[in-house]
Structure 1
Amino acid sequence: MDTLFHGVIGAALCSRPGLAGGRRGPVDRIGRRQWVDWTLWAALFFGLVPDLASLGIHFAADLFTGNGIRWHGIPDFIFVLYNITHSLLGMAIGYGLLVGWKRALWLPALAWPLHVLTDVPTHGDGRFITPLFWPFSEAGFAGWSWWQHPAIFYGGWILAGGLWLLVLILRLTWRSQ
C-alpha cells in the first residue's frame, strides 16, 4: 500500500491511543485519560520507516535537485535498501536494535513489521515485490499491485478509517469503574 497508509495503520494498531490501548487508551502519570501520547507519533513514524529509508532517500534527492518525484532512474542501492527494510531479517535486526536501545519502543516499532506484512499481498510481481527472505532468496509473493487496482487502495483506506472509528467508539463508550 502507499506509504501514508502504512503510517496510519501502524498508529491505529501499534500505539496506546490506537487499538493496542484497549478501551481506556493511554493515561498520564496521575491516571487521567489522554487522546494522544508519544506512541501514536512513534507508531506513525515506524509505519513509514521501510519506505522512507529506501525510496524516501531517492525521492528526497530528486526534490532537492529540482527533478520532482521520478519513478524511473532509481539507483540500484535504493533497491538494496528496499530489500533490507522489507525483509524478515532486516526487520528482525532493526526491531531488535530499536527495542534493545529503548525498551519502551516495543509496541510502536511493531508498525514496521506490520508495514512489511501489509506489503506482501498488496505488491505485485516486479521491482517492488516484497522480498521477505532477502538476502537468502529474491523470491516473494506475487500479490495484487495496489497502484493498479483502485479497489485495493480505496479498500485499505476504508479499513484504516474503520479502525480509527472503532478506536473512537471504544474511547467514547469506556466507563471508569
Structure 2
Amino acid sequence: MSMPPDREAPAEHPIEALLRRRWSPRSFTGAPVERAALDSLLEAARWAASSSNQQPWHLIVARKADEPEAFGKLLGVLAPGNQPWAGQASVLMLAVARMVNPANGNPNRHAFYDTGAAMAQMALQAAALGMQLHQMGGFDAAKAREVFGIREGYEPATAIALGPVGVAEALPEALAAREVAPRQRRPIGEWAFFGGWQV
C-alpha cells in the first residue's frame, strides 16, 4: 500500500507524479523492508548534489527485525510524542551531517543543507517503491550523540521512520485526524520573489 489517492499533493502547477505522491505518514504496517529496497533508497541518497561534492551525510540504519537493539536505541532518542507511532515503522534512521571539509578541516556551512537534499532524494525513492518515510526534528540530538558515540565534527540532523504505510485508524484519534487532514503548503507568492528580496 503506497498511499491513499486523496493523500496526493493538490499541486497548483504541473509537477511529476512522484513528487505529488511523497508524504510523511505516521501510520506504518511494520512489514519488513527488503534489503534490496533499502539499498535502493541509500543509492538514491548517495547521488544527491552537495557543495564541492563533499557528500557530508551519514546514516545510522536500524531495521526493526534485523537490528532490534539499535532500533530500540533510536526509538529512545525520539521525542516522547514521536515514539508510539515511529515504533511501528519497519526501519528507523538517524541522519548525521559531517560539519567540516575532510580535505582541509574547514567548516562546511552547507552540511545540513546537503544532508537534507540527500534525505529528500531518499524520500522520493521510498515513494517510488511504494513506501514512505517521515523525517523528524523531534529527537534529542545530545542523547543521540551520547548513545551512538557520535564524535565532534558531526551533528545529528534528523531522525527518520520508514516503511509501508498503514491505515490512519491504527493511530490514536488526534494523530489519525492529522493523517487524513487536507495537505497544505504556503502559496508560492509568499516565498518566491522575482527580482529581489521582499520579506
Would you say same fold, with TM above 0.5? Answer: no
* Higher RCO (CA 8 Å, separation ≥ 6 residues): 2
Structure number having the greater helix percentage: 1
**TM-score, length basis structure 2:** 0.26
